[in-house]
Structure 1
Amino acid sequence: MERWLCPSGGAWLLVAARALLQLLRADLRLDRPLLAALVLLATLDWLCQRLLPPLAALAVVAAAGWIALSCLARQPRLPVATRAVLITGCDSGFGKEAAKKLDAMGFTVLATVLDLDSPGALELRACCSPHLKLLQMDLTKPADISHALEFTKAHTTSTGLWGLVNNAGINDVVADAELSPVAMFRSCMEVNFFGTLQLTKGLLPLLRHSSGRIVTVGSPAGDMPYPCLAAYGTSKAAILLLMDVFDCELLPWGVKVSVIQPGCFKTESVQNVGHWERRKHLLLANLPQELLQAYGEDYVEHSHRQFLHSLSLALPDLNPVVDAIIDALLAAQPRRRYYPGRGLGLMYFIHHYLPEGLRRRFLQTFFISPCLPRALWPGQPSRTPTQDAVQDPDPNLGPSPMEAQ
């Protein structure tokens, strides 16, 4: 009883009353984020009681609890009405599932695919309403993007364009930056950055007119130095910064910009082990001899096995990402960043607050553990860099066709 009569006990009563009210209104869910917030609040209460005067402790705990409940409260959503949205990369994965769910909600969905006869395109035709329109588009081809812009304008004359979901992207090489062809860096940038940039800029007049939404599927690899994802990660870092720029510049127009940073989910491309095997063999076949001798085939094989192991732990349910996309499109005040997936909160905490050495070890342990290159094995003779060392791997090791995320 004495516990609840102390000042901080009064703060807990205030927090409990608001939480109960929000639960009754369905503005709050009894889930892990709420439980985690209560644990952190209890820790803060314990510290405040030992470090602050009673009234100061009351103010801090009450304010922290109020802010936490405000952040956890569900944002009111806008009506779907006749809103239209363009989604890229709908052949598979997040794009296909988002297109299906948005169509079921009543959106007019314009879904781009690489191939109008792909299994994903055929599935969308079979299970979605006539309001969903399929469009072939390759983000590496300016003519395709120009056609998509005209197609979008023609199909949104009565409704306007409410949202753009930039989902399409590629990643076709898993290797150290030195082993990854420069051509692969360029290919990732062409799809993940330049193609997305061109499409987004072309649709901005429509989005400004509707004060609509831009939602882009990024990756934690664009925030953190994931081992063996240099080409993919740098392209995602570029698009993340671009979206932050758009967020600032489009604020006066009422356009809201969100980025989805998903963890590892079992999309079709993730589950395609044969694809990753072929890319590994192509990488090994085209590595300059000096690089192959310096790193060794065992090094590449080790990275490949570690990568496949991490993919085997991917989450099968894509709904958290799809729900984040929907919230970014319809929430009255959408978040600038969404982090659907397991363990991302811990990863970002480590990345932002722990020393660099611990951050690096965590990523290596979580994703691809370190392996010593062959030239650094004990007893190996010292090597003098040759001309081959500065040559890029065969430019013919280009990417396979663009895959949806």
Structure 2
Amino acid sequence: MERWPWPSGGAWLLVAARALLQLLRSDLRLGRPLLAALALLAMLDWLCQRLLPPLAALAVLAVAGWITLSRLARPTRLPVATRAVLITGCDTGFGKETAKQLDAMGFTVLATVLDLDGPGARELRACCSLRLKLLQMDLTKPADISRVLEFTKAHTSSTGLWGLVNNAGHNDVVADVELSPVATFRSCMEINFFGALELTKGLLPLLRRSRGRIVTVGSPAGDMPYPCLAAYGTSKAAMVLLMDTFSCELLPWGIKVSVIQPGCFKTESVLNVGRWELSKRLLLANLPRELLQAYGEDYIEHFHGQFLNSLSLALPDLSPVVDAITDALLAAQPRRRYYPGRGMGLMYFIHYYLPEGLRRRFLQTFFISPCLPRALRPGQPGPTSTQEAAQDPNPNPGPSPTAAR
């Protein structure tokens, strides 16, 4: 028996009316994304017609069409006008490219760098307008942070401070937690968490006054147990939780908080193979002898090589991250999370919805393939048996009297 066609037609009329309205307002573009969305809706309609009662089919198709068109709509942007933004970590990578783009859009950009005479600072001076101000800041030094806070307060008194982009980040070791020095965890936390926390708190009076934005560059390593990135990932996880807390607490003040979780991109720090080689040599030179014997030098070499191989697949175009930061600063309703980068949607789907074993296997396949420590390989004495043999003065005793009875 044929299904009554009117519910489906009613849903399509609703979708068509909204699409036409968005096209007239220039909120929607004719292109592949729209055509793909319509094709998926047609497939959904076909399924609903066969599996659901008429009214349920109408509701499902109408809601799916409304959500799809909402996702495809181009966000409403606020005018740049005389807005001022402070960006940290502009020596290289995302920070430098974001500073260049925001300056070109007309922002007053305060860009912090570690070295005022470094190549990144020279490039920004050469290609940006006189509105851009370069500030030297090391997030591990409270005096540097205080100086930047005073400068920002003095130079945004007329325009106000619209946004803070916490971009500066640090990672200097690729190793298991047991092999990573505790000092590495501390250095990551000092820069990626405590320094950013101190700067953000210091700028909150300015941001509250402007009802502005806080944008923080996080990392998927802060959400997922990436092999060999525990020190970096732990600091990023702490930072993201802090931003979520700020998002709730600052909502009454009108401040919007966003976190960017980018995939792997070819920034200067990623491409600096010499830095990673030096880090590996320092790790091997300072490992306790017992740990080096248990894991093996070849284990560390394997993970180092796999890490460098994963970096070779990094994306060269940084614009998705820069565009996400820009949207978080200017969208009337910015997202709380942005995931720029190829395959990020699939990665987070696997992380949130698949069993733990499959999640772990995916990360190992995608990032670093597993390798057994030396002490766990077949034919090698395990750590427990080795310790017991060392402690037992008589490894082959005869049967005890109790056992003989």
Counterpart in the other structure of 1:45: 45
Unaligned runs of 5+ in 2: 388-405
The match for 2:284 is 284
Residue 57 of structure 1: aligned partner? 57
1:54 offset after TM fit, Å?
1.2
Residues 116, 135 of structure 2: 8 Å contact kept: yes
Q: Is the 8 A contact 1:4 1:10 kept in 2?
A: no
| Residues 83 and 107, structure 2, Cα contact 8 Å, conserved in 1 | yes
- Quick one: distance in 1 between partners of 2:279 and 2:350? 32
- Return 5+ residue gaps in structure 1 as ranges: 388-405
Residue in 2 aligned with 1:78? 78
Q: With structure 2 as the length reference, what TM-score do the two structures score?
A: 0.91
Instruction: Return the letter of the residue paired with 2:272.
Output: N
Paired with 1:61 and 1:319, the residues of 2 have a C-alpha distance of 34
Instruction: Find the structure with the greater CA-based Rg.
Output: 2
Q: Which residue of 2 aligns with 1:271?
A: 271
Q: Deviations over 1:152-205 (max 9, x none)?
A: 001101101000000001011111111111100010000000000000000000
Q: Counterpart in 2 of 1:256?
A: 256
User: Aligned to 1:265, what secondary structure does the other structure show?
Assistant: coil
Report what 2:67 is aligned to: 67
Q: Which residue identity does 2:220 align to in structure 1?
A: P
- For 1:210 and 1:60, the matched residues in 2 are separated by 41
Residues in 1 aligned to 2:92 and 2:122: alpha-carbon distance in whole angstroms: 11
TM superposition shift of 1:42: 4.3
Give 1:282 shift: 1.1
Match of 1:310 in 2: 310
- Alignment-derived partner of residue 396 in structure 2: none
Q: CA deviation digits over 1:41-76, x for unaligned, max 9?
A: 445434433332012101111112112211321221
How far is the alpha carbon of 1:376 from its aligned partner? 0.8
The alignment partner of 2:61 has SS state of helix
In structure 1, the residue matched to 2:217 is 217
Tell me if the contact between 2:264 and 2:311 (Cα under 8 Å) persists in the aligned partners: yes
Would you say the 8 A contact 1:290–1:386 is kept in 2? no
Aligned to 1:192: 192
Moved more, 358-367 or 9-18: 9-18
Give the equivalent residue in structure 1 for 2:293.
Answer: 293
| Deviation sequence 1:302-346 (CA, Å, 0-9, x none) | 111111111111111111111111111111111101111000000
Residues 366, 319 of structure 1: alpha-carbon distance in 2 compared, 3 angstrom cutoff? same
Q: Residues 243, 14 of structure 1: CA spacing in aligned structure 2 closer, same or farther, 3 A cutoff?
A: same
The answer for the alignment partner of 1:401 in structure 2 is none
Aligned residue in 2 for 1:393: none
Structure 2: how far apart are the matches of 1:287 and 1:272? 23
CA gap of 1:284–1:162, structure 2 versus 1, over 3 A, is same
Once superposed, which parts of structure 1, at least 4 consecutive aligned residues long, lie more than 6 Å away?
none
Instruction: Name 1:399's counterpart in structure 2.
Output: none
Could you tell me which residue of structure 2 aligns to residue 333 of structure 1?
333
The residue type equivalent to 2:301 in the other structure is E
Structure 1 segment 118-133 matched on structure 2, within 5 A: 118-133=118-133
Asked if the contact 1:162–1:212 (Cα under 8 Å) also holds between the matched residues in 2, the reply is yes
**TM-score normalised by structure 1 residue count:** 0.91
The letter for the 1-side match of 2:187 is S
Matched-pair contact (CA < 8 Å) for 1:263–1:344: yes
Distance in 2 (CA, whole Å) between partners of 1:71 and 1:336 is: 15
**Residue 16 (structure 1) shift:** 3.6
Q: Secondary structure at the match of 1:164?
A: strand
| Pairwise CA distance, 1:14 | 3.0
Q: RMSD between aligned alpha carbons?
A: 2.0
The amino acid across from 1:179 in the alignment is L
Counterpart residue identity of residue 154, structure 1: A
- CA-to-aligned-CA distance 1:80-118 (integer Å, 9 cap, x gap): 111000000000100000001101111000000000001
Q: Is the 8 A contact 1:3 1:9 kept in 2?
A: no
Contact between 2:185 and 2:232, CA under 8 Å: does it hold in 1?
yes
The equivalent of 2:165 in structure 1 is 165
* CA distance in 2 between partners of 1:226 and 1:36 (Å): 33
Aligned residues: 386
Q: Does structure 2 retain, via aligned residues, the 8 Å contact 1:7–1:55?
A: yes
Residues 300/46 of structure 1: CA separation in 2 closer, same or farther (3 Å cut): farther
Q: Secondary structure at the match of 2:100?
A: helix
Alpha-carbon distance in 2 for matches of 1:213, 1:386 = 57
The one of the two structures with greater contact order (alpha-carbon pairs below 8 A, sep at least 6) is 1
